Amino acid sequence: MDLTAPSRLASRDLFDESVGGLFARPVRTALTVLGTVVGIAALVATIGLSRTAGNRIVGRFDELAATEIVVTSKPPSPGGAPTALPWDAEQRMERLNGVVAAGTLTTINVGDALVRTSRVSDPRRQTSFNLSVAAASPGAFAAVRADLRNGRLFDEAHSERGDRVAVLGPSAALRLGIDGVEQMPAITIGDDIYLVIGILDGVARQPDLLGSVIIPEGTAAATFRLASPERVVIETRIGATTLISTQVPNALKPDNPRALRVAVPPEPKRVREAVQNDLNLMFILLGGVALVVGAIGIANVTLVSVMERTGEIGLRRALGASRRHIAEQFLLESATMGAIGGVLGASIGTLVVVAVAARESWTPVLDPFVPLAAPLVGAAIGFVSGAYPSVRAARMEPVDALRSGT
């Protein structure tokens, strides 16, 4: 037998010794692993939440912006007459396949006319307001996704008859001091009395309506001599905007389609990427900082462990362990701690993503690669963190280790 042949350590023995080293001080190991758990959990949760929130934000953005088309007439050429949008734009649009809702909107120039809740001026408080007045076709409410808080919306009949009825935006209602329609409140625009039949809760599009008094288009035509609608708001199905935007000019103005300006939403993919990139960068930075803290924890505790186990290192060297065997054992211990931290952290991070998504009724979005890679990332962090302590352990002279350790 060659007595001087290098000693050898089987992989399974190395694994057993490393695991044995970890469980020698279970509380300390648990606390050390906790650092990585927090780091990985933070990283997984932040990546997951950024994707989930980003998806939600972008989803909302896509849903609203990517399905909206606004049509106006181009400014007239010098000396030419402005192009008028047809009164039946709503009906024309609804015939197009891919249109979900459509309506016309016009901001009415009421001149100096103020909106009041009473003909009697009350000197103690403001009763006259300079509010925006808008004319809308009945379908416009659906096209801007208006929510009704109180009362009802006006319909085709109100418009055809020119009824003096109004629907208030929530800000307008607040300024006018009207919080319900049960008492049949009335307002005046200039000298004309209008019955308030509904109050909006909010609109998803055309936010100027929030502070407006909205009257039927037919009423506006009769009262304010409205010649034609100002703009057509169209909600399309997702993905139909490009097609619809090419059809709209011909449908609305077959004799002069070029006179119309069709505003289509920006390229959604680019917007999605921009929003997600901003979110991801911020959250990954936060998770990265947490992970660095975890790595420092592993390095610190492994170094302390090496110092405390000097005697054990000396014993192992006396039993025939080479420097490499000592380094391998401590590296595997720190890598195992990191991997355990990675598994636990990935689990907790995933649970956080699911819990937050469930609470907010969002769809949790997490790349499957993230929780699967987390244990590897943890192991790599443990490996790197354990490198310096392991090298220090391996460099110990056996005689010194035996003398200083007990």
Partner 1 sequence: MEPDAAAPPLVEVSGLGRTFGTEPPVHALVGVNLSVQERDWLAIVGASGSGKSTLLSILGCLDTPTAGTYRFDGIDVAALSDRQRAGLRCRALGFVFQSFHLIESRSVIENVMISEIYRKQTRRGRRERAAAALDEVGLANRAEFLPTRLSGGERQRVAIARALTRSPRLLLCDEPTGNLDSTTTHAILDLFAALNERGRTIVMITHERDVAKRASRQVQMVDGSLKESAWI
Contacts with partner 1 by CB under 8 A lie at: 1-10, 12-13, 17, 20, 23-25, 311-312, 314-325, 397-399, 402, 405-406
- Name the token pair of 333: 């211990």
- CB-nearer residue toward partner 1: 18 or 206: 18
Distance of closest approach, residue 342 Cβ to partner 1, in angstroms: 25
Distance of closest approach, residue 322 Cβ to partner 1, in angstroms: 4
Q: Which residue intervals of 66-101 are DSSP H helices?
A: 89-94
Half-sphere exposure of 2 (CA within 13 A, CB side): 4
- CB-nearer residue toward partner 1: 7 or 250: 7
Alpha-carbon span 228 to 104, nearest angstrom: 10
- CB-nearer residue toward partner 1: 23 or 369: 23
- CB-nearer residue toward partner 1: 306 or 353: 306
Alpha-carbon span 265 to 246, nearest angstrom: 13
- CB-nearer residue toward partner 1: 195 or 304: 304
Residue 381: other Cβ atoms inside 10 A:
27
- Decide: helix, strand or coil at residue 341: helix
- Name the token pair of 128: 């006259």
Distance of closest approach, residue 273 Cβ to partner 1, in angstroms: 53
Distance of closest approach, residue 398 Cβ to partner 1, in angstroms: 4
Question: Terminal CA-to-CA distance of the chain, rounded, Å?
Answer: 33
- CB-nearer residue toward partner 1: 319 or 372: 319
Alpha-carbon span 378 to 353, nearest angstrom: 19
Alpha-carbon span 307 to 317, nearest angstrom: 15
Distance of closest approach, residue 32 Cβ to partner 1, in angstroms: 16
Distance of closest approach, residue 298 Cβ to partner 1, in angstroms: 20
Residue whose token pair is 């408080």: 125
